[in-house]
Structure 1
Amino acid sequence: MQPATLAQLGVIGLLAASLPLAMVWISADANKYRKLVWAVTFLTFDLIVFGAFTRLTDSGLGCPDWPGCYGLANPFLAHEQISAAQAAMPDGPVSVVKAWIEMIHRYLAMGIGVLIMALTAQAWLQWRRNRGAAFAPALPTALLLFVCVQGAFGAWTVTQKLQPVIVTIHLLLGMGLLALLTWMGGRENFLIKPYQAGGDVATLRRVRALALASAVLLMVQIALGGWVSTNYATLACSDFPLCNGQLVPAMDFEHGFTLWRELGKTAAGHYLPFSALTAIHWVHRNFALVVAAGLGWTAWAAWRQPALRRTARLVAIVLVAQAASGIATVFFSFPLAIAVMHNAGAALLVLLVTMLNYKTKYQLETNRSLAQARAKVAPLQDPRPISPS
């Protein structure tokens, strides 16, 4: 790719970042750093949802090279090449609309990369000045490294022609980036308004364990959902609650869950059998019951803690909506809007479960610190009367 094209893409990334940076700068919030953290979190959520839209509209190869489009900075400049590819294969992955969808996704990703660079630079600058806890640079630096890895998998998604395992890892990294940003936002909120002590340590410890287990279950389910989406197995089971009229249909787990293979092919290069797609869909659908039980139990336990009640309520609401959108996707034969909503629900659950983990962790630490402080003071408060000498 020509240096001029790379420079143009860099300018587009800066322009994509300029609007949120300007909005943070002119906002009434005195803590611009905290505001920027949550702005990047919001945009990362949007990027995940738009990435789902890109995948579900089969636009992942709308521009079959990376980072530009046919070696150029935007589909306008590559219009001739796109039109030629579309004329040669009218039903293929390349079209003007798909090229724009793919490139808008990349532009948004570049803008988020610039914003995370700004966050990291600001953290290190302020940390060198005053060592303030709000600017501890370890997490922003980890975010910067994380987004670089995510960008690499974004490139491999295209260059490896949508190989399912690469696309699924790309999705998981995006969810991981959202979780890290949410954790960082929780830290900034806590430093402004520390949590008040409440609840007993033993109960909070149990809720903490449940919240961690829920995070693991959720990420496994998202990986399975990504595997369904990247293998185009959404409609492999055409009814609900049965799968093609059977409780346990004919399934090919070996080919369905072979990770390293081309899209639509077995590891040997043959076409993937329908029974493999059925296995992929069936596992995702049934593991959803485990996730619903786990997250439901966690929400119920957290609901009983006043400081966690609001987050627990939101987890419960989104969990129900997520189950409904998953069922509706099958009942209505995969309408695009509902499928995108299902992906958005998964991202929202990641955000909420991460926040629940953060709040539980620091609520527990606050209670422990208070208990330790009381234990130190207790020996100094001797209730016995002083006898006269």
Structure 2
Amino acid sequence: MTGFQKLCIVTCVIIFGLIILGGVVRATDSGLGCPDWPRCHGSFIPKWEKHTLIEYSHRLTASIAGLLVLSVVVVAGRSYRRVPAILYPSIAALALLLVQAGLGGAAVLNDLPPEVVAVHLGTAITILTLLLIITTAAFAVTKPMERLHASRQFGRLSLLALALTLPLMLIGSYVSGADYGLACNGWPLCNGEVFPSADAASVQIHFMHRLLAAVLGAVLLALAWVGWRHRRSVPFVTAFSLLALGVYVIQAMLGAANVWTELSGEVSGAHLAFATLLWCVLAVLNIRVHRLHQLLPLAPRPSRRSDLAGASS
């Protein structure tokens, strides 16, 4: 394993942890533990208080993540500047990280509006996805990856599952940020009804989250069934489709436990952790099946000097 590959893996892990820590901040109502930005209570050294330390640890982890992403860009610029599949996504990840920092500041300075919090999460997920693509490309550059000959049906289902997971996570973030987590009191029923009759926005948005989760569950079940039929020809596809279904089941149970425990901080944090893990599993699956790491060339581009030399000969 090369140093760059290790750097990419560590960066992915830190970004994953940063997303989870952001969920812990929301679950423990620590978002305003540092009411100003970029300082915390007017200082760069935080007070020794629970909510302040939780929020400050999130900011500190974000700083580490920023340095790691910057390192990825620097190495990509030095060693992979002629490999577009690595260089361009790394630049995009750094640009989004700057946007992410601005969104984090805006969230704090405007008392955590749920819309900004949801966009903040969406940007973090996009950065993580870009890093997963970069990591896959970094391995593919040193050793070409076997093409996965999955059926067209499997490819469509895997894309659909990924496409459903993103809005599910964003709506879930909005539900948490707007304090709609208990708008449906009970599970699986919503306030004692299969389809809630209440017109309140809190109930309708919460129910939309549950309904989308049910649709995703059906898609993942179909994906696992089709993936199982590939168990001899493409075992990677089978393993990841079953893994996605397993993570989803745990995630659904944690969603129910969120209501049963009246939004316990530990359960809420685990709920986001498994949602992010599900996204990662589906992202890696789609990257391999649809060869997303090869949307841009993996092979080094010839230099202008070599082009001129070839033309003159």
Q: Same fold (TM over 0.5)?
A: yes
Q: What displacement does 1:282 show?
A: 1.2
Per the alignment, residue 144 of structure 2 pairs with 194
Per the alignment, residue 339 of structure 1 pairs with 268
Per the alignment, residue 327 of structure 1 pairs with 256
2:287·2:293 contact (CA, 8 Å) conserved in 1?
no
Q: Which of 200, 217, 226 is equivalent to 2:164?
A: 217
Q: 1:300 to 1:236 in 2, by over 3 A?
A: same
Name the amino acid aligned to 1:126.
S
| 1:48 matched to 2:1 | no
Q: Where in structure 2 are the equivalents of 1:106-121 lying within 5 Å?
A: 106-121=59-74
2:180·2:206 contact (CA, 8 Å) conserved in 1?
yes
Q: Distance in 2 between matches of 1:145 and 1:299?
A: 36
Q: Distance in 2 between matches of 1:125 and 1:144?
A: 16
Per the alignment, residue 223 of structure 2 pairs with 298
SS at match of 2:80: helix
Per the alignment, residue 283 of structure 1 pairs with 208
Per the alignment, residue 303 of structure 2 pairs with none
The TM-score with structure 2 as length reference comes to: 0.87
Q: Distance in 2 between matches of 1:170 and 1:61?
A: 15
1:287-332: per-residue Cα shift (whole Å, max 9, x none)? 1111111222223323423232222221121011111111122223
Per the alignment, residue 304 of structure 2 pairs with none
Per the alignment, residue 374 of structure 1 pairs with none
Q: Which runs of 5 or more structure 2 residues have no equivalent in the other structure?
A: 295-313
Q: What displacement does 1:189 show?
A: 2.7
2:220·2:241 contact (CA, 8 Å) conserved in 1?
no
Per the alignment, residue 368 of structure 1 pairs with none
Per the alignment, residue 110 of structure 2 pairs with 160
Q: Could you tell which deviates more after superposition, 111-120 or 334-343? A: 334-343
Name the amino acid aligned to 1:140.
S
Q: Distance in 1 between matches of 2:42 and 2:68?
A: 25
Identity %: 32
Per the alignment, residue 185 of structure 1 pairs with 135
SS at match of 1:137: helix
Per the alignment, residue 70 of structure 1 pairs with 41
Q: Which of 164, 180, 187 is equivalent to 1:240?
A: 187
1:234-253: per-residue Cα shift (whole Å, max 9, x none)? 1111212211112233333x
Q: What is the total number of aligned residue pairs between the two structures?
A: 290
Q: What displacement does 1:135 show?
A: 7.6
Per the alignment, residue 10 of structure 2 pairs with 39
| 1:126 matched to 2:79 | yes
1:196·1:363 contact (CA, 8 Å) conserved in 2?
no
Q: Distance in 1 between matches of 2:222 and 2:85?
A: 35
1:234·1:334 contact (CA, 8 Å) conserved in 2?
yes
Q: What displacement does 1:102 show?
A: 0.7
Name the amino acid aligned to 2:25.
T
Q: Distance in 1 between matches of 2:112 and 2:283?
A: 29
Q: 1:301 to 1:193 in 2, by over 3 A?
A: farther
Per the alignment, residue 98 of structure 2 pairs with 148
1:214·1:295 contact (CA, 8 Å) conserved in 2?
yes
Q: Could you tell which deviates more after superposition, 98-107 or 209-218? A: 209-218
Q: What displacement does 1:49 show?
A: 0.6
Give the structure, 1 or 2, with the largest relative contact order (CA under 8 Å, sep 6 or more): 2
2:122·2:170 contact (CA, 8 Å) conserved in 1?
yes
Name the amino acid aligned to 2:273.
A
Q: 1:342 to 1:198 in 2, by over 3 A?
A: closer
SS at match of 2:34: coil
Q: Distance in 2 between matches of 1:101 and 1:364?
A: 35
Q: 1:178 to 1:136 in 2, by over 3 A?
A: closer
Per the alignment, residue 262 of structure 1 pairs with none
SS at match of 1:227: helix
Q: Distance in 2 between matches of 1:141 and 1:363?
A: 17
Q: Distance in 1 between matches of 2:220 and 2:53?
A: 38
1:171·1:226 contact (CA, 8 Å) conserved in 2?
yes
Q: What displacement does 1:363 show?
A: 9.9
SS at match of 1:136: helix
SS at match of 1:345: helix
Name the amino acid aligned to 1:63.
C
Runs of 4+ in structure 1 over 4 Å off: none
Name the amino acid aligned to 1:321.
I
1:198·1:363 contact (CA, 8 Å) conserved in 2?
no
Q: What displacement does 1:364 show?
A: 12
Name the amino acid aligned to 1:120.
V
2:89·2:134 contact (CA, 8 Å) conserved in 1?
yes
Q: What displacement does 1:334 show?
A: 2.1
Name the amino acid aligned to 1:99.
T
Per the alignment, residue 300 of structure 2 pairs with none
